[in-house]
Amino acid sequence: MRAAVYRRAHFNAAHRLHNAKWSDERNREVFGPCNNANFHGHNYELEVCVKGNVNPDTGYVMDLGVLKQIIKEEVEDRFDHKNLNLDVPDFQDRMPSAEHIAAAIYDYLLPRLPAGLELSLKLWETPRNAVGYPV
Amino acid sequence: MRAAVYRRAHFNAAHRLHNAKWSDERNREVFGPCNNANFHGHNYELEVCVKGNVNPDTGYVMDLGVLKQIIKEEVEDRFDHKNLNLDVPDFQDRMPSAEHIAAAIYDYLLPRLPAGLELSLKLWETPRNAVGYPV
Amino acid sequence: MRAAVYRRAHFNAAHRLHNAKWSDERNREVFGPCNNANFHGHNYELEVCVKGNVNPDTGYVMDLGVLKQIIKEEVEDRFDHKNLNLDVPDFQDRMPSAEHIAAAIYDYLLPRLPAGLELSLKLWETPRNAVGYPV
Amino acid sequence: MRAAVYRRAHFNAAHRLHNAKWSDERNREVFGPCNNANFHGHNYELEVCVKGNVNPDTGYVMDLGVLKQIIKEEVEDRFDHKNLNLDVPDFQDRMPSAEHIAAAIYDYLLPRLPAGLELSLKLWETPRNAVGYPV
Amino acid sequence: MRAAVYRRAHFNAAHRLHNAKWSDERNREVFGPCNNANFHGHNYELEVCVKGNVNPDTGYVMDLGVLKQIIKEEVEDRFDHKNLNLDVPDFQDRMPSAEHIAAAIYDYLLPRLPAGLELSLKLWETPRNAVGYPV
Amino acid sequence: MRAAVYRRAHFNAAHRLHNAKWSDERNREVFGPCNNANFHGHNYELEVCVKGNVNPDTGYVMDLGVLKQIIKEEVEDRFDHKNLNLDVPDFQDRMPSAEHIAAAIYDYLLPRLPAGLELSLKLWETPRNAVGYPV
């Protein structure tokens, strides 16, 4: 028997979308208000999905208390109440778009999961905007 | 790198489920209160999903501000505060069920998207009822 | 000991805002798309609040199962899947604005409640628009 | 034309996670507070997804009023306001984890659906924890 | 300057409504499925409201991190993953209705707040049923 | 007849809680991660409540389309995608706590409302933290 388990988490952060290879004008044109030099911010809502076999002794794909702790260490401790551009090394040379944030979270979470499980994420940047990764 | 982006939108409309090929009795039997001759209505919540490659220069699958504007022009301007049966040509000869509304929205949005992107929709007719298209 | 109890319910309906004493032009100007002659519609979410003394034998202000049934008979059976302008006598001569719908619901619910209880309502016409009555 | 329809339902129940083959110590270690001998409980939110062809006469994959009634009979009447360990035969010898509850619901719903439809479920045990089945 | 601050928290628990002074028949009649001898359960969502003066040096009515910690100690540690009837002394001789649970929470939280602040609560037993205390 | 109307809006912004009269150590102690020198951010959800008499000709306390536009001009245009500390004059010398943001919003909205209406706000800084003003 195979199933998926989902765990939701929350962090909030400041960021700015700015491509250093481009002129200021092009940055404003492409990123609009998201290019604000003084940053803006979001409450990020994360839904982590883990698929795998159900252990008949526990009835679990994996213990969601363990998953909650992994998300705390790998995601909340790194990103919560931070400036993604200035405080988080992952986004020194990479745009902190929701797509890239989701990919970075994926890369942090995957090695922490028990072997044989499949990982995917949905990340809301606002109540109306979200990304999914991988697809 | 491939990802999905999601954008939510809202419109409200009146409609009625009625098959002109059937007797009034059969219509009442099949569609129940949804067959009310004077119409009823809903707040429709739409989640548009677009999958594709992430542009490394922007970190975007596509600009969600652009997607928001496309949804406004193709969905909200056509359907919001309308009677789907009387005001919207798509449903002159086609039942305005949530399934068909989702298919009509898909047909309007797809040609407006940049080439190479994959489109799908989830449409809530009430907080408890929704459809997905395509599947 | 005094407390409040809240019960949520749902109905959906078509309506149109139109003042028969005014010209068509003035109606369009004041009510905009809500004046559409063919109606539009909403999912109405209702939160009923009842305040009163807590019965120490039951721990209840009032039985929420009873309140649910009263709301079904007085609100859902009257308004759900209806055209408020055409199917509901209350709005023959009264604008079916959310404010007036809330007042009509109040007048139907109050006589059905046990004596000595205080009633108030919040009614969402969309996820972003609501009314409260009385205040 | 193929589409998915979704219907949400609700039930609440008590349960306890305890493996009778294990020592009390091991049970406490593995299940933590979920092992409480006196039970704890949840509001379970269920989203049923049914995929299939859209009937052009109705515009429906299937009538959601019929699906609502099937969910009432097979899920709510069995599980609502129950103790899953003591009152529900399915969990006499099987851990009432969300994964197993979802699988039991799947097995009750599938035979009640019209032929040719594909069924899947998402079941929230708390606002932050959910399972999907099958995957 | 006076303001209110709100903090949300979550716990889940089993309970049973049963008045020991009454016959089993009367209990079943009054409490229906909530009288199930084997208990049922809920996810309780709590919103704590604290009103008071805003400190101009901090911009705070009170530090919501402190309030979160007080709620953890006084509410979550006492009630989460518990059987309210069997594990919580407050409900040995008092019906664990939402009204009484809210009153018990109020009595635990009030002495922990800084002097001069006004406390009130809203407690959801299900997404559709809630209580407020005091009123 | 008197009623309340509610309108929800959204903006996102970066901010930092820091009292220039205090040492860095005291700031870190009092504000914790909210003191991060590089800022963090939030999605702010605003619910504006306006109470007043219902105009019998329109059924309105006030036109919610007008209120939506006032909120856009006075709140969204000022605060959305901004750094509250650096980009918004209101918070040059005043802590951008949710309490103070709500008070600033109140002061901008009140003069724009028709005479005789009563204004109050609820502002969510995260899904679990909110403020109300005035009280």
The answer to whether residues C75 and C7 touch, using CB atoms and an 8 Å cutoff, is no
The answer to whether residues B78 and B46 touch, using CB atoms and an 8 Å cutoff, is no
Rounded to a whole number of angstroms, the distance from the CA of E117 to the nearest CA of chain F is 12
Rounded to a whole number of angstroms, the distance from the CA of E41 to the nearest CA of chain C is 16
pLDDT tens, D27-53?
A: 999 999 999 999 999 999 999 999 999
- Percent of chain D at pLDDT > 90 equals 99
Residues across chain D: 135
Q: What residues in D contact B103, CB-CB < 8 Å?
A: 1, 3, 54
Q: Where are the alpha helices (DSSP H) in chain A?
A: 24-31, 64-71, 77-79, 84-87, 98-109
- Among the listed residues F15, F18, F74, F125, the single catalytic one is F125
- Residue C3: band (very low, low, confident or very high) from pLDDT cuts 50, 70, 90: very high
Do the Cβ atoms of C49 and E132 come within 8 Å? yes
- Residue A48: band (very low, low, confident or very high) from pLDDT cuts 50, 70, 90: very high
CA F113 to chain centre: 16
What is the mean pLDDT of the segment spanning D77-90? Answer: 98
Question: Given C3, C8, C58, which is nearest E133 (Cβ)?
Answer: C3
Closest-approach residue (CA) in chain E for C62: E99
Q: How far apart are CA B129 and CA A108, in angstroms?
A: 36
pLDDT tens, F76-121?
A: 999 999 999 999 999 999 999 999 999 999 999 999 999 999 999 9
Which CATH architecture describes the domain C2-133?
Answer: 2-Layer Sandwich (3.30)
Q: Which residues are bridge partners to E13 per DSSP?
A: E42, E82
Q: Which residues are bridge partners to A3 per DSSP?
A: A52
Spatial CB neighbours of A23, under 8 Å, sequence gap ≥ 6: none
Backbone angles phi, psi at F68, to 5 degrees: -55, -45
Q: How far apart are CA D92 and CA D89, in angstroms?
A: 5
Do the Cβ atoms of E40 and D86 come within 8 Å? no
The burial class, CB within 10 Å (0-12 / 13-18 / 19+), for F29 is: exposed
The answer to whether residues E118 and E55 touch, using CB atoms and an 8 Å cutoff, is no
pLDDT tens, C40-54?
A: 999 999 999 999 999
Q: Which helix (H) or strand (E) holds D69?
A: helix D64-71
The answer to whether residues D41 and E40 touch, using CB atoms and an 8 Å cutoff, is yes
Rounded to a whole number of angstroms, the distance from the CA of E61 to the nearest CA of chain F is 8
Q: Which residues are bridge partners to C124 per DSSP?
A: C45, C130
What is the mean pLDDT of the segment spanning F41-61? Answer: 98
Closest-approach residue (CA) in chain F for A38: F83
Rounded to a whole number of angstroms, the distance from the CA of F64 to the nearest CA of chain E is 25
**Which pair of structure tokens corresponds to residue B26?**
């059969």
- Residue B19: band (very low, low, confident or very high) from pLDDT cuts 50, 70, 90: very high
CB half-sphere exposure, B77, CA atoms < 13 A: 9
Q: What residues in F contact A83, CB-CB < 8 Å?
A: 14, 36, 38-40
Q: How far apart are CA E21 and CA E19, in angstroms?
A: 5
**Which pair of structure tokens corresponds to residue F66?**
């007008």
List residues in chain F touching A: CB distance below 8 A: 10, 12-15, 33-34, 36, 38-43, 45, 80-83, 86-87, 126-128
Determine how many CB atoms are found less than 10 A away from the CB of residue D21. 7
Sign for the pseudo-dihedral over CA of D112, D113, D116, D118: negative
- Percent of chain F at pLDDT > 70 equals 100
Do the Cβ atoms of B41 and C12 come within 8 Å? yes
| Best residue in C10, C45, C64 for a mutation probing chain E (most E CBs within 10 Å) | C64
- Using DSSP, state whether A108 is helix, strand or coil: helix
Q: What residues in B contact D9, CB-CB < 8 Å?
A: 128
CB half-sphere exposure, D59, CA atoms < 13 A: 21
Sign for the pseudo-dihedral over CA of E119, E124, E128, E133: negative
Q: Where are the alpha helices (DSSP H) in F1-135?
A: 24-31, 64-71, 77-79, 84-87, 98-109
The answer to whether residues B97 and B19 touch, using CB atoms and an 8 Å cutoff, is no
- Among the listed residues A74, A81, A100, A118, the single catalytic one is A81
Closest among C100, C41, D61 to B34, alpha carbons compared: C41
pLDDT tens, A84-108?
A: 999 999 999 999 999 999 999 999 9
Do the Cβ atoms of B12 and C42 come within 8 Å? yes
Mean pLDDT, chain B, rounded, equals 98
- Annotated catalytic residues of D are 34, 81, 125
- Taking every pair of Cα atoms in chain C, the longest distance, rounded to a whole number of angstroms, is 60
Question: Given A100, A129, A135, which is nearest B2 (Cβ)?
Answer: A135
The answer to whether residues B101 and B44 touch, using CB atoms and an 8 Å cutoff, is yes
Place of tokens 């594909």: D118
The pLDDT of residue A51? 98
DSSP E strands in chain C: the ranges are 2-15, 40-53, 82-83, 118-126, 129-133
- Residue A49: band (very low, low, confident or very high) from pLDDT cuts 50, 70, 90: very high
- Annotated catalytic residues of C are 34, 81, 125
Do the Cβ atoms of F13 and A87 come within 8 Å? no
Q: What residues in E contact F30, CB-CB < 8 Å?
A: 58, 63
Domain map of chain F by residue range? 2-133
Question: Given C19, C99, C132, which is nearest F57 (Cβ)?
Answer: C19
What are the CA-CA distances from residue B73 to residues A128, B22, B68, B79, B105 (Å)?
17, 35, 9, 10, 11
- Percent of chain C at pLDDT > 90 equals 99
Backbone angles phi, psi at A115, to 5 degrees: -60, 150
Rounded to a whole number of angstroms, the distance from the CA of D64 to the nearest CA of chain E is 21
Do the Cβ atoms of F127 and A41 come within 8 Å? no
- Among the listed residues A34, A49, A99, A100, the single catalytic one is A34
Do the Cβ atoms of D4 and B32 come within 8 Å? no
What is the mean pLDDT of the segment spanning B50-70? Answer: 98
| Best residue in D11, D12, D79 for a mutation probing chain E (most E CBs within 10 Å) | D12
List residues in chain C touching F: CB distance below 8 A: 17, 19, 21-22, 30-32, 94-100, 102-103, 122, 127-135
The answer to whether residues F44 and F15 touch, using CB atoms and an 8 Å cutoff, is no
Mean pLDDT, chain E, rounded, equals 98
DSSP E strands in E63-102: the ranges are 82-83
Q: Which residues are bridge partners to F60 per DSSP?
A: F55
Sign for the pseudo-dihedral over CA of F92, F94, F95, F98: negative
User: Catalytic site residue E34?
Assistant: yes
pLDDT tens, F13-33?
A: 999 999 999 999 999 999 999
Q: What type of residue sits at position F111?
A: P
The answer to whether residues A44 and A82 touch, using CB atoms and an 8 Å cutoff, is no
Q: In the complex, which subunits touch A with 3 or more CB pairs below 8 angstroms?
A: B, D, F
Q: Is B81 left (phi over 0), alpha (psi -120 to 50) or beta?
A: left
Rounded to a whole number of angstroms, the distance from the CA of C43 to the nearest CA of chain B is 5
- Residue D11: band (very low, low, confident or very high) from pLDDT cuts 50, 70, 90: very high
Place of tokens 């949905």: A122
Q: Which residues are bridge partners to B51 per DSSP?
A: B4, B118
- Using DSSP, state whether B88 is helix, strand or coil: coil
pLDDT tens, E48-96?
A: 999 999 999 999 999 999 999 999 999 999 999 999 999 999 999 999 9
Q: How far apart are CA A63 and CA A67, in angstroms?
A: 6
What is the mean pLDDT of the segment spanning B12-18? Answer: 98
Sign for the pseudo-dihedral over CA of B63, B67, B68, B72: positive
The pLDDT of residue A107? 98
